Structure formats: C-alpha cells, structure tokens
Amino acid sequence: MARARSEERRTEILRATLEVIAERGYRGATLGAVAERVGLSQQGLLHYYPTKEALLVAVLEDRDRWDTGGGGSRGEGPWPLELLGSLVEYNAMRPAIVQTFSALLGESVTEEHPAREFFSLRYSQVRADMAASLRAEHGEELPGGLTPERAATLMVAVMDGLQYQWLLDPGTVDMPGSFRDFLRLLRDRTGPDVSGPSPG
C-alpha cells in the first residue's frame, strides 16, 4: 500500500519533470522547479530522486520504456525499421526531451558522471535491439558487406548525431528526412565485389 503510493508519487514527479522541461528547457528544469510543480518541498523531492541527474535519468528511462513498446503498445519481436523512422519524426515534435537527452549524454562522457552507467548500458541494449531489427529485415549481409551489428552501431550514431545538428539549427537540418536517407542507404543492395576491398 505504501509502496503503491510511493510509485504513484514517482509517476507524478516524472510527469511534472517532463512539463517543466517542455516549458523551461534543460537548464530551467531545476529540482526546485519540479518540487514546486508537484507540491513537494525540495527536501521531499530529494527523498525520491537524490540529484537532478537521477531525476533526468529516470525521465529518460521512462521515455525509453514507452518508445520501445514496454508501455504495452507493441507486441514482442524486433522493432520494425519503418517505426524507427516514425519515432524520429515524433522526436522532431518534442525538442525539449531531445535536448534533455542530448545535453545529459554530453555530460555523461565526463569523468565519473552519474549518468554514465545509464547511457553505457542503454547503448549496449539499443545496439543489440537495432541489430535484431536489421537482421529481421535485411538478413546477415547489408550494403558495404556490413553485418547487422556493424550497421546497428552506425544507425545509433546517426540518430544521436542528427539530434545535435537539428537542435543547433532546426531550420536547416531535416532530422526525420536525414534518418530516412540513412535507412535508404541500408536498403540499397549491390554485390559485395562492388564495395571495394575490406580494409581490415
């Protein structure tokens, strides 16, 4: 009972955090602003999330759960590539959460950052998920002679890298269109002998 109440509170806090992020951006999303929104003292909020980083990681984990169908909207099995294209389109309509993700990812590569473990584990998982999607749709060999695993690393890099270019210059960079360009590159099949010698 107390546990259910606590879970409910956490859900409220995450929802309030998303609202504050949407209104004030990454830097404006302070613990104080979130506490006020949810009707807690800052001390009360720290009981649930001891740092801003812990709170933001929880928000991003929650988003991942929803986006990848853990929210119950999708069945089992690999994520279809076409749906990934739609996810990038959806992201282009919610710059504040994309900004939060990108800013925290940037911080996470600094020394002993509290979000480092989250991102490191997340990327292992996301690369594996993308490799499964690529294998399901393209088989074992993709253009350029790439394995699904090698193409997955590139696909994740494209998604993240496009977010930075788009956040910096949304009027110039067509994030969803560019991501679909990349999906087209992966569909563009040819014989392995055309791809040149392997450098490795």
By CB under 8 A, tell whether 140 contacts a copy of itself: no
Rule CB under 8 A: choose which of 109, 125, 139, 141 binds a copy of itself.
109
Instruction: Return the residues of window 46-85 that contact a copy of itself according to CB under 8 A.
Output: none
What is the contact mask toward a copy of itself in residues 2 to 31, using x (rule: CB under 8 A)? -----------------------xxxx---
Give 79 or 164: the residue with its C-beta nearer to a copy of itself.
164
By CB under 8 A, tell whether 106 contacts a copy of itself: yes
By CB under 8 A, tell whether 145 contacts a copy of itself: yes
DSSP code string of the chain:
-HHHHHHHHHHHHHHHHHHHHHHHHHHH--HHHHHHHHT--HHHHHHH-SSHHHHHHHHHHHHHHHHTTTTTTS-SSPPPHHHHHHHHHHHTT-HHHHHHHHHHHHHHTSTT-TTHHHHHHHHHHHHHHHHHHHHHHH-S-BGGGB-HHHHHHHHHHHHHHHHHHHHH-TTT--HHHHHHHHHHHHH----GGGG-----
Give 17 or 108: the residue with its C-beta nearer to a copy of itself.
108
Residue 93 Cβ vs a copy of itself, minimum distance, rounded to whole Å:
17
Backbone angles phi, psi at 142, to 5 degrees: -100, 170
By CB under 8 A, tell whether 88 contacts a copy of itself: no
By CB under 8 A, tell whether 158 contacts a copy of itself: yes
Contact residues for a copy of itself, defined by CB under 8 A: 25-28, 99, 102-111, 116, 119-120, 123-124, 127, 143-146, 150-151, 153-154, 156-162, 164-165, 167-169, 172-173, 177-178, 180-182, 184-190, 194-196, 199-200
